[in-house]
Structure 1
Amino acid sequence: MPGGEDRISALPDGVLQHVLGFLPAHDAVQTSVLAGRWRHAWRSIRRLHLSPEDWWDRGSPEHLKNFFDALLSPGGHDSILEEAKLDFDGLVEDCAHAEVWIRRILSGQAQVLDVSFATLENPPLVSRHLRKLELTEMILEGDVLDFASCPALEDLKMADCRLYLDKISSQSVKRLNIDSCYFFCDCRPSISIPSLLWLLLDSCIVPFLGSMPSLETAFVKPAAYSRDCCIRGAFKECCGICAECTGDGDHGSRCVLLGGLASAIHLELVAEPGMLIFGRDLRWCPTFSNLKTLLLNEWCVAIDFRALLCILEHSPVLEKLILRLSKRREFITVLSYPMEKLPAISKHLNIVEIRCRDVNGRVCRILKLLSRFGSAMQISIKLVSQLSTCFSFETWLWHFPANDDDECNIIVQG
């Protein structure tokens, strides 16, 4: 208020810099006209937010470029810049400048960098301080995702990016999130991050995974459009007879995915209809020596029970198994497994949860198969709606049928 006390100007420098860091850069600069105390305060902000959304009613993209150049020029910033968020949406013609601005930011001590709508090429990023990097709707080329020169980087997230490269590597990253990214390369891309603790690969081409001995949690869902789908089956389902579906194709003598996931404690493997990569990897199935919680969907029972039994056999300390089954046509082939030929599975497996829309013949056959491993297993069925939300009741298996043609005797508890 006019004539009122200016309490904000009385704030300590550190607090004032912190507050200005929440403003878009242009607004932060405009505070220089408020009073003498504010004239150069914007030069000391520790959080920088640059977005064209704040500029379309104030000037041209060229004006914005000039502002970026002035703000990020050597000597244009007085304090340690800890965090930067750069949105170049709509400034395609200025993408050549994006690399310059990003490298100027990293040449300081920025620990968090969030960039969207830009192109990054060689050489790789260089920073001794960067801890977290988020890239959204970017074009990434060459060796830009070789993080050998970012020894402090621990969090890497990419979403909706176009990757013209065949390798992602780091010796320090602990959490990796790749969501809806597409690789444009002639060979299968690879990920070499031995320090990884947490991994999410969602809706992208399946890469080769290197050894990850410290991995704890992983979620993998290959893209439905990837090269690892069966092209012969009807409705994109596995045909069950071609060399790829049966695991007899020329795929090299090593795992693509499962080898890198062998140390995981919590693992989710989800595939769309016709996806082959998990089933093929089971030809060289590693031992999941630490695995305690496992979620699988349709792929493990799409043709028969062999894939499910194989992964259970190689999970010696598994405690909880979740099967998520949709209401698609049943292609399952009922296999007769003599009791003496059943593989040994984890003695710790005491919780099996089947999530499905109804209790059909396939669910009953799965229940009967699991019952042959012993009675100590607590098996529950959760009926799930089309919106993938669980109802408030569960069905508990009390009796297994003597024959495959019999119905399961299941009691519903409220």
Structure 2
Amino acid sequence: MSGVDLFSTLPDHVLQHVLSFLPSRNAVSSSALSRRWRHQWRSSPALRVPGPDASTFINRFLLLRDGVSPLRTLEIDVGHCSNEYDDDDVDMWIRHGALTCQTLAFAASAEQPSEMLRLTRGPLAARHLTTLRLRSIRIDGDFLDLSRCPALLHLSLSKCLLDCKTIASSSLRRLSLADCSFVSSTKTSTRIATPSLRWLHLEGPPRCLLESMPSLTAATVLLLWGKEAKDCGSRSMLLDALSEATTLELMASSSRGQSLHPGIAI
């Protein structure tokens, strides 16, 4: 079997599936292997871009893709925010992926809130989307009104700055809000309306109002209880929203790091 190219016996759709697991720069580089490989990356169902200095690459990749083959996964990590990226680019990438993707993920890092890239346009509409992950980005307005994403099951927001009235989805099953900051131009708490939720992870300042979650089975809530806690209503309202959970871990600490309540497992 020495010297036999087993890949050459595989059909195109299998090669494209294999390429979808690679970082997209590597997938494009495969075009140098042979004439058959020259255009396989154009039909790969995934765009995966880790690391900085990628704005031009992402735009050209999306422009040169085979428009017949749908994109199913879009994962972009731009690293530290720089002048290379702007809000319009990020919004365009996410909404382009939302047309066909099942998984959307965008990650960045920022030392100050003023450095964060922003999503400021209207609600996201994504008929096929099941998983949405965002890290270190500012989200304003109605973007997280996810009623136009009927298949969405998993939402993860990490280190985000949220200036929105509502996080809403009737289909969502798993929600993670980790180290996010809630701000509001109207000085009202963000409303979380996810009636089908089964799993919740909430970590950070309690600037949100949890509506009824009758399907909830497991919740982990780690609250930094500072002077802004009055904006979120009473603690009894929080516990009422979590009352259906069969497994509950609850921790609340002051802004000085002092524990106010021990963890509770029910």
**What TM-score range do you get, normalising by the shorter chain?**
0.7 to 0.9
2:241 to 254, 260, 265: 260
Listed one character per residue, the Cα deviations across residues 54-75 of structure 1 (whole Å, up to 9, x for unaligned) are xxxxxxx4xx433322221386
1:159 is matched with which residue?
Answer: 158
Residue 73 (structure 1) aligned with residue 73 (structure 2): no
CA distance in 2, matches of 1:203, 1:251: 12
Bigger CA radius of gyration? 1
Q: Could you tell me which runs of 5 or more consecutive residues in structure 1 were left unpaired when the two chains were aligned.
A: 54-60, 230-249, 276-296, 301-321, 325-351, 353-414
AA aligned opposite 1:265: T
1:409 is matched with which residue?
Answer: none
Q: In structure 2, do the counterparts of structure 1 residues 12 and 273 end up closer, same or farther at CA, with 3 Å as the change threshold?
A: same
1:102 is matched with which residue?
Answer: 94
CA distance in 2, matches of 1:298, 1:67: 49
CA distance in 2, matches of 1:211, 1:203: 20
Q: Could you tell me which runs of 5 or more consecutive residues in structure 2 were left unpaired when the two chains were aligned.
A: 109-116
Q: Secondary structure at the match of 2:27?
A: helix
1:49 is matched with which residue?
Answer: 48
Higher RCO (C-alpha under 8 Å, 6+ residues apart)? 2
Q: In structure 2, do the counterparts of structure 1 residues 252 and 149 end up closer, same or farther at CA, with 3 Å as the change threshold?
A: closer
Residue 104 of structure 1 and its aligned partner are, at CA, apart by: 1.1
1:210 is matched with which residue?
Answer: 211
2:113 is matched with which residue?
Answer: none
AA aligned opposite 2:96: R
2:171 is matched with which residue?
Answer: 172
Q: Secondary structure at the match of 1:88?
A: strand
Q: In structure 2, do the counterparts of structure 1 residues 223 and 39 end up closer, same or farther at CA, with 3 Å as the change threshold?
A: same
Q: Secondary structure at the match of 1:129?
A: coil
1:120 is matched with which residue?
Answer: 119
Q: In structure 2, do the counterparts of structure 1 residues 181 and 197 end up closer, same or farther at CA, with 3 Å as the change threshold?
A: same
- TM-score, normalization by structure 2: 0.84
AA aligned opposite 2:57: F
Residue 221 of structure 1 and its aligned partner are, at CA, apart by: 1.3
Q: In structure 2, do the counterparts of structure 1 residues 265 and 8 end up closer, same or farther at CA, with 3 Å as the change threshold?
A: same
Q: Secondary structure at the match of 2:94?
A: helix
Q: In structure 2, do the counterparts of structure 1 residues 159 and 82 end up closer, same or farther at CA, with 3 Å as the change threshold?
A: same
Q: Secondary structure at the match of 1:258?
A: helix
Residue 129 of structure 1 and its aligned partner are, at CA, apart by: 0.2
CA RMSD of aligned residues (A): 2.8
Q: In structure 2, do the counterparts of structure 1 residues 29 and 74 end up closer, same or farther at CA, with 3 Å as the change threshold?
A: closer
CA distance in 1, matches of 2:15, 2:233: 60
Q: In structure 2, do the counterparts of structure 1 residues 33 and 173 end up closer, same or farther at CA, with 3 Å as the change threshold?
A: same
Task: Return the structure number with greater strand share.
Answer: 2
- TM-score, normalization by structure 1: 0.55
Listed one character per residue, the Cα deviations across residues 295-352 of structure 1 (whole Å, up to 9, x for unaligned) are xx8627xxxxxxxxxxxxxxxxxxxxx869xxxxxxxxxxxxxxxxxxxxxxxxxxx9
2:183 is matched with which residue?
Answer: 184
